[in-house]
Amino acid sequence: MEIKNRLFPYPVLCGETDDYNESSEFILEPHIKETLHELLLEYDYLVKCNSLEKVLRKGEAEYVLHIECSTTCFRIALKSPVPHIEYRLPKSRVSGEISLVAMIVAKKDIHQYPPSELNEDYAEEIISFKKGSILAYQNLPSVYLSKKTEELANNESFFTVIKQTGLDPNEIRPLTFNLHSDKIQVMVDEKTYEAFVRYQHSKSIAMAMLVLPALVFMVTEVGENPDSYLRYQWYQRIDKYYHSHGIDFANEVLRRDDNPVNIAQEMLQNPVSKAYRELYALEG
> Are 83 and 42 contacting, i.e. CB atoms less than 8 angstroms apart?
no
Using the predicted structure, report yes or no on whether residue 132 has a pLDDT greater than 70.
yes
pLDDT digits (tens, 9 = 90+) for 225-245: 888 899 888 998 888 888 877
Global model pTM greater than 0.95: no
Closest CA to 158 of 118, 228, 104, 218: 218
Q: At 95, which CATH number? A: 2.60.40.10
Domain boundary among 145, 171, 201: 145
Residues 116 and 165 in one domain: no
6 within some domain: no
Residues 132 and 217 in one domain: no
Which string of b and e fits 7-37 if b means at least 16 CB within 10 Å? eeeebbbbeeeebbeeebebebeeeeeeebe
Q: Dihedral (C-alpha) 162, 163, 164, 168: value to the nearest 10 degrees? A: 170
Residues 159 and 126 in one domain: no
Task: Grade residue 14 by pLDDT with cuts at 50, 70 and 90.
Answer: very high
Residues 35 and 130 in one domain: yes
How far apart are the C-alpha atoms of 67 and 77, rounded to whole Å?
Answer: 6
Using the predicted structure, report yes or no on whether residue 135 has a pLDDT greater than 90.
yes
Number of structural domains the chain divides into: 2
19 within some domain: no
Domain around 172 = 152-279
What is the per-residue pLDDT for 149?
38
> Are 275 and 204 contacting, i.e. CB atoms less than 8 angstroms apart?
yes
Residues 241 and 260 in one domain: yes
pLDDT digits (tens, 9 = 90+) for 27-61: 999 998 877 678 899 999 999 999 999 999 999 99
Q: How would you classify the pairing of strands 134-145 and 74-80? A: unpaired
> Are 230 and 182 contacting, i.e. CB atoms less than 8 angstroms apart?
no
Domain boundary among 145, 161, 182: 145
- Phi-psi category of 99—alpha, beta or left, where left has phi over 0 and alpha has psi -120 to 50? beta
What is the per-residue pLDDT for 85?
96
121 within some domain: yes
Residues 38 and 118 in one domain: yes
Domain boundary among 112, 145, 178: 145
